[in-house]
Amino acid sequence: MQTPTDSAPPTSRRPGRPRGSVAANREVTRDRILDAATELFAAQGFHGTSVAEISARADIKTGALYHHIKSKEELLWEILRGYTGKALAAATAVTSGAGGPVDKLGALIDVHVEVITDHWREVAIQTRDASALNAEHGVQLQALRQGVQDCWEQVIRECWPDKRESEVRIVASGLLGMVNSLWYWYRPERGDTPEEIAKNFRDVVIGGVG
Amino acid sequence: MQTPTDSAPPTSRRPGRPRGSVAANREVTRDRILDAATELFAAQGFHGTSVAEISARADIKTGALYHHIKSKEELLWEILRGYTGKALAAATAVTSGAGGPVDKLGALIDVHVEVITDHWREVAIQTRDASALNAEHGVQLQALRQGVQDCWEQVIRECWPDKRESEVRIVASGLLGMVNSLWYWYRPERGDTPEEIAKNFRDVVIGGVG
């Protein structure tokens, strides 16, 4: 978020209105549009949601909405790259940090559960409607997702050094599937906490039975 | 599939056509329609698929198709209850069979991986379009799915006797999510086998790290 700065030439300001507030307002509005689109896409699908519905939910005129986004597809892309970028940043922080492989596997579970429970609507949209992205965005999203998978594979390779590469990929896909499928059954209001979910996933994956 | 029987009165048969072949043909046609619908729903979604497209792919006239099914919704229901019923039968056979809890957990992983890899298209349809079922079918499908979840919870409860009920549910949901999300990345032509996948899931869930 931009903040007012004293170095701005006074001529560029409207009286009584600090420079930067236009940009800040723009960002607030844009976030409101993204939130509205996320709720609607998750509830009724990308194809089942019109730009007019998004405008209405964001409390903005449809014409004004197009000052903020170019298309419904751009909204989808912003939503999907937003949470996937967070997942990649969190996983990369774990793999590039200190600690042994078992600690890192536990930390990957913790941070990924946190991202997915924070963004279960976005994951629902990804699962159902990622195919509505244009080709370029589809490739970019796949690269972000592969980045997350690479982090998991790197740690899994160290945790289970006897596994072949095809097995490392199977385990990574399975564990990411375990966490990602939270979108299907996790709802904050039902009382499960991200901490309790992560603890139980760690118990099973790291501890096994008994 | 019905087969011709010698005890049928000759008057009920058309000359040269064994009794039962009409019913058998009906069933073959119905299976062909279900297969066509499964492929199309998985590739382009329930809402994105017309009855005319299903008829064309099943190589049957649209009018004739309605002799076999009442509606597109009925096709969706037959597809979803078909594979979910198989998953429930397989899980129930494990829980009601012999063996200790750890063996049963391994067997649940084996049979569920087998069902899901055999029916990854159906799981894709379930994940994206189960909300298109009518209310009655939605409730019936949920009961079948809950039956599968109950089998897993029963075995997990015995494997990890210190876990609270909310934790048993989290572990069951997580492990089912791990296997169910195979629909997203498993494709038989890529060379992973159901046996290799199940073995690696068992290694992690039962063995843990190291």
pLDDT digits (tens, 9 = 90+) for B114-173: 999 999 999 999 999 999 999 999 999 999 999 999 999 999 999 999 999 999 999 999
What length does chain A have? 210
Distance CA(B158)–CA(B161), nearest Å, equals 5
Q: Which class would CATH give A16-69?
A: mainly alpha
User: Token pair for residue B116?
Assistant: 């899901």
In chain A, domain spans = 16-69, 71-210
pLDDT digits (tens, 9 = 90+) for B71-88: 999 999 999 999 999 999
B22 touches chain A (CB under 8 A): no
Size of interface A-B (CB pairs under 8 A): 118
B177 to A174: CB separation less than 8 angstroms, yes or no: no
H helices present in chain B, as ranges: 21-44, 51-58, 62-65, 72-95, 101-118, 120-129, 135-159, 165-180, 182-185, 194-202
B174 to A200: CB separation less than 8 angstroms, yes or no: yes
A175 touches chain B (CB under 8 A): yes
B163 to A200: CB separation less than 8 angstroms, yes or no: yes
pLDDT at residue B188 in the model: 87
First to last CA, chain A: 49
Q: Which residue of B has its CA nearest to A185?
A: B173
Nearest Cα to B180, choosing from B106, B113, B89? B113
pLDDT at residue B25 in the model: 85
Q: Which residue of A has its CA nearest to B129?
A: A128
Q: Mutate which of A182, A200, A202 to disrupt the B interface (most B C-beta within 10 Å)?
A: A200
Nearest to B127 among A127, A167, A203 (CB): A127
Q: How far is CA B41 from CA B66, B113, B189, in A?
A: 18, 22, 20
Name chain B contacts of A210, Cβ cutoff 8 Å: 102, 159
Helices A72-95 and A120-129, axial angle in degrees (round to 10): 120
CATH superfamily of the domain spanning B72-210: Tetracycline Repressor, domain 2 (1.10.357.10)
Q: How far is CA A70 from CA A37, A92, A168, B160, in A?
A: 14, 31, 41, 52
B127 touches chain A (CB under 8 A): yes
pLDDT digits (tens, 9 = 90+) for B10-58: 344 445 555 568 888 888 999 999 999 999 999 999 999 999 999 999 9
Neighbour count for residue A7 (Cβ, 10 Å):
5
A197 to B205: CB separation less than 8 angstroms, yes or no: no
User: Token pair for residue A7?
Assistant: 């170095």
Q: Which residue of B has its CA nearest to A156?
A: B209
Distance in Å, alpha carbon of A13 to nearest chain B alpha carbon: 50
B209 touches chain A (CB under 8 A): yes
pLDDT at residue B21 in the model: 80
Please enumerate in sequence order all residues whose Cβ is within 8 A of that of B64, keeping only pairs 6 or more positions apart, or say none. B55
Average pLDDT, chain A: 90
Nearest Cα to A127, choosing from A136, A116, A135, A118? A116
So what's the ipTM on this one?
A: 0.86
CATH superfamily of the domain spanning B17-69: Homeodomain-like (1.10.10.60)
Name chain B contacts of A173, Cβ cutoff 8 Å: 181, 185
Band of the pLDDT at A6, cuts 50, 70, 90? very low
pLDDT at residue A19 in the model: 56
Q: Which class would CATH give A71-210?
A: mainly alpha
User: Token pair for residue B88?
Assistant: 């429930």
Distance CA(A102)–CA(A89), nearest Å, equals 20
User: Token pair for residue B82?
Assistant: 């078909």
